[in-house]
Amino acid sequence: MQKASIIALALFLVGAGFPGSATEAEEFSQNDWLLRAENDNARFRLLQQQMRGFDQPMWEVGERFERLHAALQRENYELAVYHWDKIKTTIENGVAKRPARGESARRLFLGDSWTKIRAAFASGDKREAWDGFDSARTACQSCHQSEKLEFMNNQVIFDLARPHRD
């Protein structure tokens, strides 16, 4: 292809509104909050703001902790393990966003403690699984205390308990 033909084709494509053309910017709707950002750095700032900090992962952890409790009540140990695995992933993702929380999370929650609790759920033994649940609650509360967030331990979720023993 001749040089003049390539230039003509490029000008046609830009004028036709292909990505990167001036006409594309005019086509954004008011809902294109991310696309309308000035540049990639501004888009990354917006994404970071929307993803927030450790509070959103903790919200998911709380939801999954309640589901884990319900799974144990139903003796659905596979579901308890599933939620326990997802809790780990969620906390790891939270630590990625807020590395300063990582030391407490690793020391009190993600290390040996997490592994032992998972094994308790996977055992299929009712008593052992509930012992794991008690250990999980303690790990959560210890992490909150370590992070100077003791007020987090005074909420309904931590009233969840094992069934009464006979």
158 and 62 in contact (C-beta within 8 Å)? no
23 pLDDT higher than 80: no
CA distance linking residue 60 with residue 65, whole number of Å: 8
Tokens of 35: 């696309």
Tokens of 27: 């086509």
CA distance linking residue 91 with residue 113, whole number of Å: 14
144 and 152 in contact (C-beta within 8 Å)? yes
CATH numbers and ranges of domains, the chain? 3-51 (no CATH), 55-159 (1.20.120)
CA distance linking residue 140 with residue 145, whole number of Å: 9
CA distance linking residue 95 with residue 20, whole number of Å: 36
Q: What would the mean pLDDT of 28-51 be, rounded to a whole number?
A: 89
pTM recorded for the entire structure:
0.77
As separate numbers, helices (DSSP H) first and strands (DSSP E) second, the chain gives: 8, 0
Tokens 């967030």 label which residue?
149
CA distance linking residue 118 with residue 71, whole number of Å: 14
Percent of the chain residues topping a pLDDT of 90: 70
Q: What would the mean pLDDT of 91-108 be, rounded to a whole number?
A: 95
119-164 per-position pLDDT tens digit: 999 999 999 999 999 999 999 999 999 999 999 999 999 999 998 8
74 and 93 in contact (C-beta within 8 Å)? no
Contacts of 17 (CB under 8 A, 6+ apart): 23, 24, 27
Comparing 85 with 37, the larger pLDDT belongs to 85
pLDDT value of position 27: 81
